[in-house]
Homo-oligomer: A and B are copies of this chain.
Amino acid sequence: MVIVMSPGATDEEIDHVVERVTSVGGEAFVSKGVVRTIIGLVGDIESFHHLNLRTLPGVADVHRISDPYKLVSRQHHPERSTVWVGSGDVKVPIGPDTFTFIAGPCAVETPDQTLEAARMAVSAGATVLRGGAYKPRTSPYAFQGLGEEGLRILADVGRRTGLPTVTEVVDPRDVPVVAEHVDMLQIGTRNMANFALLQAVGEAGKPVLLKRGMTATIEEWLMAAEYIAQRGNLDVVLCERGIRTFEPSTRNTLDISAVPVVQATSHLPIIVDPSHAAGRKDLVVPLSRAAIAVGADGVIVDVHPQPETALCDGPQALLGQELRQLAQAVRQLPSLVGREAATAR
């Protein structure tokens, strides 16, 4: 931590800061410049936080130097982690050596639609099935998902097609029932900073897919992962799904750089959601190719047998020709960045 004093700070004010720091067991190194004095702090960061250093007289600014997350940081855990999704002999890895393709319908609507979507997913090379049972919708008048019935349909289709399943949970009260039916719990972009929910999934005993908040910095996103980890669950996979900017031609702006940035600072796997980032079907294939090439550990995409009748996000669901192009990319590109397709093992 570095404290920057105001240009006119007095010696008394500087001494007062040093005193406060040493009073909690820290060390303070003073560098007096011609215009400003800066004070470098060494010791336990948490104890410094309680000092409210910013409020002390003469203090102009306080810079944090070290990362605020610990359990998810690569600093104390240099090797990148692999998270396994599924159970028994249907376990699929998401991690540094593989490329994992997750696909399925945005919302579970009927057993038939879900099964058909799952078969499309399998034929394109997907090895994990996604499907929404609880849908967080901007409008209270929109389809909110089938709830527990949707969970049962999804679990059943997963068993029939041999795919582990992932679904979103939006209420801490639903975590137990969701964890009972599916293999991985998803936290959606709107709930990334819903700390009550993060703590609940941290205790659920299943891996978690944590989407980035649509306006979250990477540091805040890793702090959200830290909330889950702090409850004892380190099986967290991050998912970049676009951030909010001024550009209107895509629903969000896919922050493709987030992939290598996260991989440099955290050991957690990170995948990309090109469907929700762009909100446009025609961009899903090129953005998936970019995700593989940049080094992502996987992608998650929307597929639907009849996008015209989908109850949710039909316009971005892949079909036919596009799905075949994506399947081809997933077959060809990962080996060029030193990865193999992730399959159940």
Which A residues form the contact surface with B (CB < 8 A)?
A: 2, 4, 7, 27, 29-36, 38, 40-43, 46, 49-52, 54-56, 61, 63, 65-66, 68, 75, 136-142, 170-173, 190-191, 193-197, 199, 213-215, 217-220, 223, 226-227, 230, 243-250, 253-261, 264, 277-278, 282-283, 286-287, 289-295, 307-311, 314-315, 332-333, 336-337
Instruction: Say yes or no: A138 contacts B220, CB within 8 Å.
Output: yes
Instruction: Say yes or no: B172 contacts A226, CB within 8 Å.
Output: no
Smallest distance from the beta carbon of A320 to chain B beta carbons, Å?
13
Instruction: Say yes or no: B244 contacts A290, CB within 8 Å.
Output: no
Instruction: Say yes or no: B257 contacts A255, CB within 8 Å.
Output: no
Return 14 A-B CB contacts under 8 Å, by A number.
A2-B2, A29-B30, A31-B41, A32-B42, A40-B40, A138-B223, A172-B173, A218-B247, A243-B247, A244-B246, A257-B278, A264-B282, A293-B293, A293-B294
B173, B247, B293: which contacts A255 (Cβ < 8 A)?
A: B247
Residues of chain B contacted by A138 (CB below 8 angstroms): 68, 193, 220, 223
Residues of chain B contacted by A292 (CB below 8 angstroms): 293
Instruction: Say yes or no: A283 contacts B308, CB within 8 Å.
Output: no
CA distance in complex: A5, B195 (Å): 33
Instruction: Say yes or no: A31 contacts B36, CB within 8 Å.
Output: no
Instruction: Say yes or no: B246 contacts A250, CB within 8 Å.
Output: no
Instruction: Say yes or no: A172 contacts B172, CB within 8 Å.
Output: yes
Smallest distance from the beta carbon of A274 to chain B beta carbons, Å?
9
CA distance in complex: A106, B126 (Å): 43
The quantity of this chain's copies bound in the complex is 4
Nearest B residue (CB) for A59: B315
CA distance in complex: A332, B191 (Å): 40
Smallest distance from the beta carbon of A200 to chain B beta carbons, Å?
9
Instruction: Say yes or no: A315 contacts B257, CB within 8 Å.
Output: no
Smallest distance from the beta carbon of A230 to chain B beta carbons, Å?
4
Instruction: Say yes or no: A170 contacts B142, CB within 8 Å.
Output: no
Instruction: Say yes or no: A38 contacts B54, CB within 8 Å.
Output: no
B49, B171, B220: which contacts A142 (Cβ < 8 A)?
A: B49
Residues of chain B contacted by A40 (CB below 8 angstroms): 2, 29, 31, 33, 38, 40
Residues of chain B contacted by A190 (CB below 8 angstroms): 193-195
Smallest distance from the beta carbon of A62 to chain B beta carbons, Å?
9
CA distance in complex: A41, B33 (Å): 8
Nearest B residue (CB) for A281: B55
Instruction: Say yes or no: A2 contacts B257, CB within 8 Å.
Output: no
Nearest B residue (CB) for A277: B257
Instruction: Say yes or no: A261 contacts B283, CB within 8 Å.
Output: yes
CA distance in complex: A238, B50 (Å): 32
* Apart from A4-B65, A191-B194, 20 more pairs, CB < 8 Å: A29-B31, A38-B40, A46-B141, A52-B314, A55-B307, A61-B65, A68-B138, A136-B193, A137-B195, A140-B195, A141-B230, A170-B194, A190-B195, A219-B249, A245-B245, A260-B282, A287-B294, A290-B291, A290-B293, A293-B333
